[in-house]
Structure 1
């Protein structure tokens, strides 16, 4: 009997979730391996998208993914708990109420803002390192505009409408970019002149986004200036008060809002574990991502400190988290199987920075990109990651949040995909199209299409006189219509002769029943999406058969319009679809494929 092993992963960040997915893939059929993921939150947070929440572009649901959904139908047991202590000798983790034993431990507890000893930052500034942080910033900014709208004291009003981001790295630039768009909405909503709003990014070094090349830095700077952002470089913040910021060169900026993004360090929890430390509060590891103190303890992501060639530490970015997680998992498996371990070797594909919803700069695979293309690549990379985490369901949710439900036209495609129309306007069209299909089906029944001796859809041998008469009548009617195609394509004719003709009556009956079924479904508003698809398919089939003229095209275009939820207004879909969604979400197939469907509240 194989030896039972317990693998515990602490932290559901990028590294922790990726490690859990990889371990499940390896051991999904091995019941002797127990995989546990522990995090203080029941969801995985998309940390790289928090600026969108802070800047009011998306709601909080867009940056969190429920862990139960991620790991449904897997071997991973995801638990919500706050670990307070780790006993490495006894190999267990303790919370206030529980203990968890392990044979192998992966720590991915993340990082926290570094304040570098600057007086007053922690007390008077905001950080953007959690979902709660982002929500607090958003609410604060809204509150500043609300107060400023009725404030008559010029100095107080100026402080309220001055917003400063400290740090010009990825997070800082993306945050100030969101603020530049958010101010337009808030200025209009609270009747504030946009010219009164001041946005600044303050950087201690001599340039913004130092990890990018100079060309991309220049483009980012020009765009920031274009949207009204002041860039102050070579100006370290030395002190922060409630309504004032002091710079190293003696300048002062009066403001009620400072968002601090100047750097990160390992979480304080990791620093207190008693492990050998590297720099910036990160735990030192070897090339295998193992703690220098315990061979069965691995660290990933922002928690680990490892210097590659040239004594350069691994950067605290998403790709590092994913790649260190892969290294840790490979070496845990190697240890179990008594194989040689593999050292960490970074392979970074590039860096992307969005500045608001419509502009980005990036370096990918050695190529420099900016504008629309860079923004498109950022969305594609995000969707690639989300597909790996939660399949098509999370990708669809991302598209909904970023494009289909986007307000204020804050997407790279503007508001074209988010334009909405009330369903009741489509209800009239739905019923009309349904009646037309129903009448077509009934007419065919009256003309004998459900009688086996009458075959109209193909030429057959030994047709009856009734069929001949009906065929002549159909031909006479067809003379009043100019088909879109003069004759069916050869491959279609071959298909009809080989597959349809031997079962002509069956397929003919299906056409009639389909027309009646489509008609009834659309009239009743039941399964409207499927009925609309069937309407489009049947119409295209008539066109390919060279039986329909241009007048049938309106069925196709109407079908596309009705696919947008026409059955949810004055239709049975209003009642049936929520019930079906709830039933589907409980099935094993939904859990295995991650194809969960959000159910609306009525």
Structure 2
């Protein structure tokens, strides 16, 4: 490169984050490149999961991925600022908190809900277009149930318990699916008859989910209607008021809750950028994703307007990711003097969840529905999160979607969602620890730490363990071991590695038993101590010297791994300290191997 290059990305949505990660990957060895990502929020929002927040299946923190975690150890400077304008002559991005020079600029400010000129939508309606709006919608819905539970006026109560979703596209149908599940739980919580609750979907077109094939759309229609959702098609909403909405035929739906999901437009902040816009605030680009008339300014994601084969590219996640890849390729091509490539979309399909356990999907021409479609949706989300923030983000997603759910609202129901009452494990932990400690002390008294006394002998009976995890070897013949003789590979291992160093391994067994006992009693590193308990027990089984009673140790240790050291144990203090220390290490930041 001839001189330093400054690349600034405005917006940390799907496109902006993907562009920043790609630039880091391809240019991290270039000392003369500076990559800056600017967003008014310090986190990346999983916008495709906002309907789950609005429906109270996920907590707000579940859809936040903080930028400092995504780009820790990366060649990307993250700045929290709100961009007000762009000075193209000086090549500066002007924010409220500062100015940022650039040689290449990527605009990825995303989209926002569009009211399509319908009066009252934003004044009286609700949306799921951002984390704040989705949270506001969720709070309002529960507030309606709370008020309805004490409301005596029948008409007022009916309005409070009527929920209208405007729009039957992906977001509208997903929101309706969440609502019909959540309202069931709210009815139980506030002692309201489920028959008093009405969930409706109002669609201006003649069918729902127009981007899916008719067969899948029909399955979605049937699934929702079977669960009590009333779907009205060919019914455009013409006005939204505080207590009702007006349809195109002049009829009214009395409601205190309209959730507007009829579509999006480009982020209005694009008006301040001085670029050519279409009527929906999307910035016109050429096939290289360059803004019209600006060779070093690229536009990606929902805010970009480009027609491919005569049709505008859709405002979906795959468009954001693929336009980001095109822009990054062309910026690097310009830096190194190679050829640019035009944007060619390659969509793999669409997935729509209808609550927590059912989905419809069309993936690479294959139609899926039910459990399999929902499983695929989770796998796609996991794949994306792994690319964004590694294993830590994946584990966090799994915890939120399966282990921390309320009302059994997950693909697996409540089978893995119940939280173990760890207080009751304290006694078990101390008891198992005491048994290991007593066993270790007993071996010491027998002389296991005396080099002249070898209890681990070089025969087929290669262990001194007993049914209670290690009584003296001379009592082993009285037992009925689980295995008649050690497996051949185990015998080979013992003959090759253990017998030549018998005392060392014998001492290790004793000290390990003592260490496990002390750790479990103290509640220190309980997971590791439990794993050690399982390892020793399995070793005793493989040695053909342990009977079925040894299995008790294994299953007790598995139970103790559920956090038994966090109550009345040192893990309560030590583990948080280790997590904080580890999170600050360069290795953890570089590899995303944070400890949740």
Compute the TM-score of the two structures, normalised by the length of structure 2.
0.96
Q: Deviations over 1:223-249 (max 9, x none)?
A: 101221100001111111111111112
Q: Distance in 2 between matches of 1:218 and 1:116?
A: 27
Cα distance in structure 2, aligned partners of 1:491 and 1:150: 71
- Of 562, 566, 577, 2:564 maps to 566
Unpaired segments ≥5 residues, structure 1: 461-472
SS in 2 for 1:479: helix
Q: What is aligned with 1:249? A: 249
* Correspondence 1:465-484 to 2 at 5 A: 474=472, 476-484=474-482
Whether contact under 8 Å (2:522, 2:570) holds in the other structure is yes
Mapping 1:127-526, distance limit 5 Å:
127-278=127-278, 280-309=280-309, 311-459=310-458, 474=472, 476-526=474-524
Cα deviation, residue 277, structure 1: 2.7
**1:43 correspondence with 2:43:** yes
Q: CA RMSD in A?
A: 1.5
Q: Distance in 2 between matches of 1:506 and 1:450?
A: 9
Query: Are the equivalent residues in 2 in contact too, given 1:120–1:241 (CA < 8 A)?
Result: yes
Does 2:92 match 1:92? yes
**TM-fit CA distance, 1:102:** 0.3
How far did 1:151 drift? 1.2
Report the secondary structure of 1:408's partner residue.
coil
8 Å Cα contact 1:271-1:282 kept in structure 2: no
Q: 1:458, 1:496 within 8 Å by CA — same for their partners in 2?
A: no
Instruction: String of CA shifts for 1:523-550, please: whole Å, max 9, x gaps.
Output: 1111000000010011111111111111
- Tell me by how many angstroms 1:580 deviates: 1.5
> 2:43 and 2:481 mapped to 1: Cα distance?
57
Number of residues of Structure 1 aligned to a counterpart in Structure 2 = 586
Q: Are 2:443 and 2:472, in contact at CA under 8 Å, matched by a contact in 1?
A: no
> Which residue of the partner structure matches residue 54 of structure 2?
54
In 2: Cα distance, 1:159 partner to 1:302 partner: 35
Contact kept, 8 Å, 1:244 with 1:255, in 2: the verdict is: yes
Does the residue aligned with 1:432 lie in a helix, a strand or coil?
Answer: helix
Q: Which residue of 2 aligns with 1:469?
A: none
**How big is each residue's C-alpha offset from its partner over 1:185-221, in whole Å with a ceiling of 9 and x where there is no partner?**
2111212111111100000001110111111111101
Structure 1 CA distance for aligned equivalents of residues 292 and 558 of structure 2? 61
CA distance in 2, matches of 1:527, 1:276: 60
Match of 1:7 in 2: 7
SS at match of 2:273: coil
**Could you report, residue by residue, the CA deviation over 1:33-53 in whole angstroms, capped at 9, with x for unpaired residues?**
100000011110000001111
Instruction: Point out where structure 2 has 5 or more consecutive residues left out of the alignment.
Output: 460-470
CA contact (8 A) 1:104 1:297 kept: yes
Is the 8 Å Cα contact of residues 121 and 239 (structure 2) preserved in structure 1?
Answer: yes
- Aligned residue for 2:288, secondary structure, equals coil
CA distance in 1, matches of 2:161, 2:415: 31
Using the alignment, how far apart are the partners of 1:387 and 1:93 within structure 2? 31
Q: Secondary structure at the match of 1:7?
A: strand
Match of 1:117, SS state, is: coil
**Residue of structure 2 in register with 1:468 after alignment:** none
Contact 1:15 1:324 in 2 (8 A): yes
- Answer yes or no: is 1:72 the counterpart of 2:72: yes
TM-superposed deviation, 1:427? 0.6
Partner of residue 465, structure 2: none
- Structure 1 residue 94, shift from structure 2 partner: 0.7
Shift of residue 2 of structure 1? 4.9
Supply the distance in 2 between the matched residues of 1:361 and 1:529 (Cα, whole angstroms). 40
* TM-score for both structures, normalised by structure 1: 0.95
SS of the residue corresponding to residue 165 of structure 1 reads strand
